[in-house]
Amino acid sequence: MIGSEMWSLLKKEKRAVLTEVEAKTILREAGIPVAQAKIARRKKEAFSLSREIGFPVALKIVSSDIIHKSDAGGVRLGLRNYAQVGKAYTEIINSVRGTFPQAKIEGISVQGMAPPGVEVIIGMTKDPQFGPLLMFGLGGVLVEILKDVSFRIAPVSRRDAREMIREIKGYPLLEGYRGRDPVDLAFLEELIMKVSDFVETYPQIRELDLNPILAYSKGALAVDARILLEP
């Protein structure tokens, strides 16, 4: 389900939360690089998708009722064979049902494990006065611990994007710290601008998080995505 059909479905179902797979589908259409995720509704499908994608893989719960998948025990990473996939599938279902018994489980997403990179975040929240407010910072768990982020009102220019990246205290990590390769700053600038265009195109989006985005010496890839809509 893509494009206008997806929005029509969400409106019909009166849903304010996109699943990760739905969010990634529409983000990919907008030219934003995201790790592809496919839904398995049975363990057998998880096996076939793992073979198709190639090991190692990650499994994640797919439910519009669960925003923070890790808190529900709904994520397993670095699975290297069928036995690990089967065990992880069962553990995720049992954990989620035990933690959120009322949640509607649509399936388990299967995606390939991306190479390690510097974790950053690009997000958006709606300010009641100024509208879409873009955020950039160090990603993963660091965003919650360090809160090392910068903000700009959308739409942003190339200059805004460049300044956002260079304003964070962790900027030296992006330049190449202690012999590590610097990340592709020009690509990150372009990515911030694409997210800005995306939220301008879809004003019904209330919150958006791409976290983590793995930044590399060439390019970057968002491995998780969250989109909340206006009520």
- Write the CATH number for 75: 3.30.1490.20
pLDDT of residue 3: 56
Strand partners, 208: 124, 227
Query: Which pLDDT band holds residue 1 (cuts at 50, 70, 90)?
Result: very low
**Same domain as 37, residue 124:** no
Least-confidence region, from 71-75, 133-137, 178-182: 178-182
Nearest-angstrom CA–CA distance, 111 and 130? 36
Q: How many CB atoms lie within 10 A of CB 86?
A: 16
Number of H helices, E strands in the chain: 8, 10
Average pLDDT, the chain: 93
- Look at 180 and 107; give whichever has higher pLDDT: 107
User: Which residue type is seen at 147?
Assistant: K
Q: Are 111 and 36 in contact (CB under 8 A)?
A: yes
Residue with tokens 């975040």: 121
% of the chain surpassing 70 pLDDT:
97
Q: In the listed set 73, 91, 112, which residue is the last one of a domain according to the structure? A: 112
How many residues are listed for the chain in this entry? 231
Question: Which of 88, 112, 136 is the endpoint of a domain?
Answer: 112
Quote the percentage of the chain above a pLDDT of 90: 83
